[in-house]
Structure 1
């Protein structure tokens, strides 16, 4: 019996799946560069440089850039390529308003769904941020802060909420460091984290929602304040 060979359609499907997977990996790599600040607002995306660095052809780089443009992280300029998006204060304010509503819901869901072990992990992150705040270590605090807020959303156990939250927060990475670098802001930010943890440990729905919303409002105030 002759050995069967894959059809052209099947081969094309496999090729498309591999390409999609590769472009997804590249997309995540570029997104990580934006989140870390390695790529800053206004930076031009150098396709050739990124392709060489990531060990891929320019095709997946272009696909990833199109995805990141749809996600609001990149913008295209006719005949000039892609750039990391520069966000205005008004655009950031709009995102913070939505983020505040999502944060309130997140707090309520955590109270209802999170285990004691998860809450203890969140408390440990706040303790670690206290150390970074005392040392005025912005880089360490920023990383721990990202982990804390990611963990909060994970603890809510709602994939739809998580998807909306991550899209908003990924865009706010273009702006968020600004609100932390002014002296004393790390300690103020972590005091708000303490209020969140206190409400969550008490399993207080209303207090958790209020503390989460207040923290987002505080973040906006710090970010929008004149430097």
Structure 2
């Protein structure tokens, strides 16, 4: 992680002098993305401590850039900060995963209901391009890129709905989304993944909000529910998923 990202950052430092503020933002984003990948592949495991000064030294970047990246990852749920303990990789429980699954079903059902009647051909084309990129990443065997594109597809759906609150809530669930996808995307055929997302696009073409909401619930259930059940994660009561569907529908 350190050598690959460090070399990329050093190269950019040579070409972007004089644009320090914007450059720092770019570097902070790159650090954040790399740390997400490292957590996904368990290079950093739950409970591992991340030290700001050590990361900055290894990457040859400012502590400010590292600090911004770490703050963002704390807000997204990947890391947690505790007094006298510092910043560590968050442990994700079975109950956490169940909650992410049910809330995502509700949020995405609502957003796609809002999107379906007004979706444009240009927006459909944007979604189709993401699916094509998924296929290409699958051909390369790039699991990380497939996962990122999967999340980008769902974020794009929400963004296209125009509901900024749902988008913010979805972004705060990203750690759980990555955890769910860790157990699914790496084992699934890229062609199957693409087909599932194309099915969603086809439903959106009908401009029927109820059909779209039902389709996204089935889509999330087909990926998330088996993973949660395989971890023996059970809801505190039997009504959580019903409540999610009512909110989404």
Question: Do the two structures share a fold, i.e. TM-score over 0.5?
Answer: yes
Is 1:191 paired with 2:191?
no
Aligned to 1:56: 62
Report the CA distance between 1:92 and its aligned residue: 1.0
Superposed CA offset, 1:201-220 (max 9, x none): 11121111111111111221
Q: Aligned runs of 1:196-211 on 2, under 5 Å?
A: 196-211=200-215
Moved more, 213-222 or 131-140: 131-140
User: What is the alpha-carbon root mean square deviation over aligned residues?
Assistant: 3.2
Unmatched 5+ stretches in structure 1: 1-20
Q: What is the rounded CA distance, in whole Å, between the counterparts of 2:96 and 2:173 in structure 1?
A: 11
Q: After alignment, is 213-222 or 133-142 more displaced?
A: 133-142
The equivalent of 2:87 in structure 1 is 82
Q: Of the candidates 119, 144, 149, which is equivalent to residue 144 of structure 1? A: 149
Select which of 209, 214, 218 maps to 2:218: 214
Length, aligned pairs only = 206
Distance of aligned partners of 1:225 and 1:135 in 2 relative to their CA distance in 1, 3 Å threshold: farther
- Determine if the alignment matches structure 1 residue 105 to structure 2 residue 144: no
Shift of the 206–134 alpha-carbon distance from structure 1 to 2, 3 Å rule, reads: farther
* Deviation sequence 1:166-194 (CA, Å, 0-9, x none): 11124432453222122x35444333212
Which structure: larger Rg? 1
Which runs of structure 2 are paired with 1:27-42 in the superposition (5 Å)?
Answer: 28-37=29-38, 40-42=44-46
Give TM-score scaled by structure 1 length.
0.73
Gaps of 5+ in 2: 1-21, 232-249
